[in-house]
Every structure is written in C-alpha cells, then in structure tokens.
Amino acid sequence: MLTLVAFIVALGLLIAVHEYGHYRVAVACGVRVLRFSVGFGKTLYSWQPKNQKHGQNTEFVIGAFPLGGYVKMLDEREAPVAAQDRHLAFNTQPLKSRAAIVAAGPAANLLLAILLYSIVNWYGVQEPRAILASPVAGSVAERAGLRGGELVEQAGFEGDALRPVRSFEDLRWLLTRGALDGRNVRLALAGTQASTGRETLLPLSEIDASQADAQLFRKVGILGPWTQPVLGEVVSGRAAERAGLREGDLVLALGATPVVDGQQLRELIRAQVQNGQPLAQPWSIRRAGETLTLAVTPDVQQDGGVAVGRIGAFVGLPPQFVEVRHGPIEGLVSGAVRTWEVSVLTLRMLGRMVIGEASLKNLSGPLTIADYAGKSASLGLTQYLIFLALISVSLGVLNLLPLPVLDGGHLMYYLWEAVTGKGVSDAWMERLQRGGVAVLLVMMSIALFNDVTRLFG
C-alpha cells in the first residue's frame, strides 16, 4: 500500500509541476489555456477558479489514468478560432513565445529538482561516514591498495582539485560518475595512529561500464561504508539459525581468515560455495565475552546467474553516521550542481545506449519507479525527496530529447523554423509524429520488459 501511495504522489506531483510550467508561461505569453489536466481518461474531479487572468477560463482536471497530463491551449490547428480571439491562439504567437511555452515544462521539472535537493541540504540528513569497507577481492579498489577501514577526507577526478568528502554518499556519487564516465578518481585518506595520511588512485577507466548495475560497483570494489562484523536479526529456519548463530554475535574469523568488517564477512559468506555446493566452515565468534567455534553451512542462492552463499541473517552493524547540512546559499548551489550533474549523467547514459556502448537493460519503467518510490518512502522523508528529485531530473531531461512527440521534438521544429524562416509542413509533421510515437513505444516496451525482469526474474 505504501508503494502505491508513494508512486501516485510522486507521479502526480511531477506531472503537475511539468504541466504547470507550460501553463504558467502560456498565460504569461497571452495564450488562452482551455484545460489543465493531470492524468488522462475519465474525469475524476474538475474545477474552474473564479479569479483568472483576463482572457482565461481554464478548466482544471484530475483524470483517472495518472501516467501523464496535458495543457490544452486555444489553437487554430485543432479547432476554429473566432477572429476576435485569434491573438490568444498558440499558433499565432511569435516563435520565441512558442518555444518558451514548450521549454517551460522540462524547465519546471529541473527547477523542482533543484528545490528538492536544496530542501534536503537545508534540512540535513544522516549519512554514513566515508570510512571504507573491505574491498571486493580482485576489484579496482583492492588492486589500488585499499584494505578497509580507511577514512576518505578528500576526493576528486584525476586532473581536478580534490574536494572535501562529507559522507559516504558524496564518495559513492563521485565513484558512480567516474565509473560511468571512465574517469579515474583520486582519494586522500586520513592518517591513523599507525600510519600517516596518503593518496591513492582508483583507475576506474579500466572498468567496462556498459551496465549500471550492482556488478559495476563490485568491479569498483567499494560497496558500502565500514561496519562492525556483528550479526543482526536471524531468520528462522535458515543457515544461521541451524548453525546456532544468534543476533549480536561478533564474528572473529571464518576458518583461518580473520574478519575485520561486515563487508568482508558478506563477501566471505558469498564465497562459501564450491561447484554450486555449500562449504561447511568453522566460524569463530564472540558471544557475551566468550569465544565460541561453530560449524556453519550456508544456503546456496543464485545472484545474477552466480551461485553464492547466504546464511539468512543481517550481517554488520549500522555504520557510523554524520549529519550533513548546508547553509542557505551553499545548499541552493549544491542543489543546482547536483541537478546539473544528474542531468549530464542521464544524457550521457542515453547517448551511450543509442550508440551501443551501454546496455538497454539500464532503461527503467513505471514498475521500477513504483518499487523505488515505496522503498524510499519507507526510509523517511529525506530519502523520498531525493528520489523525487532524481525522477524529476529524469522527466525533465527525457522530455528535452528530440523526439517529435516530446517537448524536445517541438523545440526542434522551432529551430528549423528559426533557421529556414518557415515551419515544418503538415505532411512532414505527421510523418515525424508517427516515427516519434513508434520510437517511444519501443522505449516503453523495453523499459517495461526490464521492469518485469528485475522484479520477477
């Protein structure tokens, strides 16, 4: 139920903001707006505000089918317009006004993203400290000399100045961009009582980043922040309970391998499989001040076609947290920067999918969005706002793509008109619209297939 409510609220808000951008600029340009609709199909509720701007008599509508919305304007191409009202029609407006009205929808989504990111920055959020967990065996991080437990104080792309790292989420975002863009990342690590601070380079350009999935981050090797290797909730009937493990047990070693953190313990459990069969191993644990040895045989499950070990228990205590909060100006600037970075990354990924350098499996549709909406809402307001900002950026960027059925396609028509001095002919407009619909349907089909595969495959 939470997933459905979170999804409807997210979709309704983002569509309403997008259409409001079109509506607000249309009214400012003197175009009569006949209907403002959030949703399609049967009208669930409609109203007409009494005090509207002169020349306006807009009907506001909420439709039964929430996947979309529209702003219907007075237009001679759609219905006859009285001579005295011709100056209020969309098609009679100057080119710059028509372009501004079309661009206002995506712009509104991008502005909403800036606002949402800024609100999170001003409100503050608890995020894990940038203390690294043990790297995945054979990963870029391990080859770079990281062992786990290092505190990252500063980071940046190779060739750029290093910037302070406030939290693990800051670091994760930098690594994500580096991996997808093929850029190496420099890390400045804090010193400890036993060693001085140092710098290390993560050669992320070596990674094949055709798919932005969990396997990509396993190649990087930094999956999460450092956590103490203590067991949490134990699931009844699973391997941990069968072996006698309990919530609160501190794991010291698996066989002859000492355990230093929760991430390493998870990796050791995953690897406790040979030829598809589970391997029994002695675990050394500390319970109530006493050291015990228990034989543990994991369950075997498939993860991306690979057989891995699972014990049916939460592994690792929560990481150390720090509150990240920005001042008024800093928070706004940071929100704008994050919106820009996400926009650029989205465009690059779409471009790489078009030329075949990235997998089409990265496309997501409404089922995945609904799933993430529910998960983010269950984690709290700040996570839900971050989710809304991310989807708002995606909606803004996707609508600017030069497909005839999208806002970006109409802007391409206006660019042609600005260059040639005449608009696109009706015949060509119809052909391009059909082609755009076909491309959009293909993209939606792929996204829906990916959704079903992710959620039910």
pLDDT in tens, the chain (457 residues): 677 788 888 888 899 999 999 999 999 999 999 999 998 888 888 898 888 887 788 999 998 887 788 899 999 888 898 889 899 999 999 999 999 999 999 999 999 999 999 999 999 888 899 999 889 888 999 999 998 889 999 999 999 999 999 999 999 999 988 888 889 999 999 875 555 678 999 999 888 766 555 677 888 989 889 999 999 999 999 999 999 999 999 999 999 899 989 988 998 999 899 888 989 999 999 999 999 999 999 999 988 778 899 999 999 888 889 988 999 999 999 999 999 999 988 888 777 777 666 666 666 766 677 676 777 777 788 889 999 999 999 999 989 988 888 899 889 988 988 889 888 877 887 887 788 778 777 877 776 776 677 666 5
pTM over 0.95: no
Tell whether 286 and 366 lie within a shared domain: no
For residue 422, tell me if it sits in a domain: yes
For residue 256, tell me if it sits in a domain: yes
- Is the CB of residue 113 less than 8 Å from the CB of residue 339? yes
For residue 66, tell me if it sits in a domain: no
Q: Where are the alpha helices (DSSP H) in 138-238?
A: 140-143, 168-181, 214-220
Tell whether 113 and 163 lie within a shared domain: no
- Can you say how many angstroms the Cα of residue 171 is from the centroid of all Cα atoms in its chain? 15
Q: Assign residue 197 the CATH number of its domain.
A: 2.30.42
Tell whether 188 and 216 lie within a shared domain: yes
Burial of 181 (0-12, 13-18, 19+ CB in 10 A): middle
**Where a domain ends, among 220, 239, 274?**
220
For residue 73, tell me if it sits in a domain: no
CA-based diameter of the chain, in Å?
Answer: 92
Q: Assign residue 243 the CATH number of its domain.
A: 2.30.42.10
For residue 236, tell me if it sits in a domain: yes
Burial of 132 (0-12, 13-18, 19+ CB in 10 A): buried
Beta bridge partners of 202: 185
Q: Which two tokens stand for residue 198?
A: 């140092």
Tell whether 287 and 343 lie within a shared domain: no
**Where a domain ends, among 297, 316, 335?**
316
List phi, psi (to 5°) of 279: -110, 125
For residue 83, tell me if it sits in a domain: no
In angstroms, what is the C-alpha Rg of the chain? Answer: 27
Q: Which two tokens stand for residue 242?
A: 């069968």
Among 80, 3, 67, CA closest to 37: 67
Tell whether 212 and 293 lie within a shared domain: no
Tell whether 303 and 418 lie within a shared domain: no
Among 372, 456, 366, CA closest to 3: 372
Tell whether 274 and 387 lie within a shared domain: no
- Is the CB of residue 285 less than 8 Å from the CB of residue 204? no
As a whole number of angstroms, the distance between CA 126 and CA 383 comes to 10
Tell whether 287 and 402 lie within a shared domain: no
Among 41, 42, 38, CA closest to 70: 38
Tell whether 254 and 281 lie within a shared domain: yes
Tell whether 268 and 289 lie within a shared domain: yes
Task: Give the CA-trace dihedral at 188, 191, 197, 201, to 10 degrees.
Answer: -40
Strand-by-strand arrangement of the 250-254 sheet: 257-258, 250-254, 281-287, 290-296
What domain range is 308 assigned to?
Answer: 231-316
Give the contacts of 257 (CB within 8 A, at least 6 positions apart).
268
Q: For 336-369, give the secondary structure using H, E and C.
A: HHHHHHHHHHHHHHHHHHHCCCCCHHHCCCHHHH
- Is the CB of residue 365 less than 8 Å from the CB of residue 444? yes
Q: 219: which DSSP letter?
A: H
Active site residues: 19
- Is the CB of residue 205 less than 8 Å from the CB of residue 183? yes
For residue 26, tell me if it sits in a domain: no
**Where a domain ends, among 185, 220, 255?**
220
What's the structural domain count of the chain?
A: 3
Q: Which helix (H) or strand (E) holds 164?
A: strand 163-164
For residue 50, tell me if it sits in a domain: no
Tell whether 311 and 373 lie within a shared domain: no
Tell whether 455 and 330 lie within a shared domain: yes
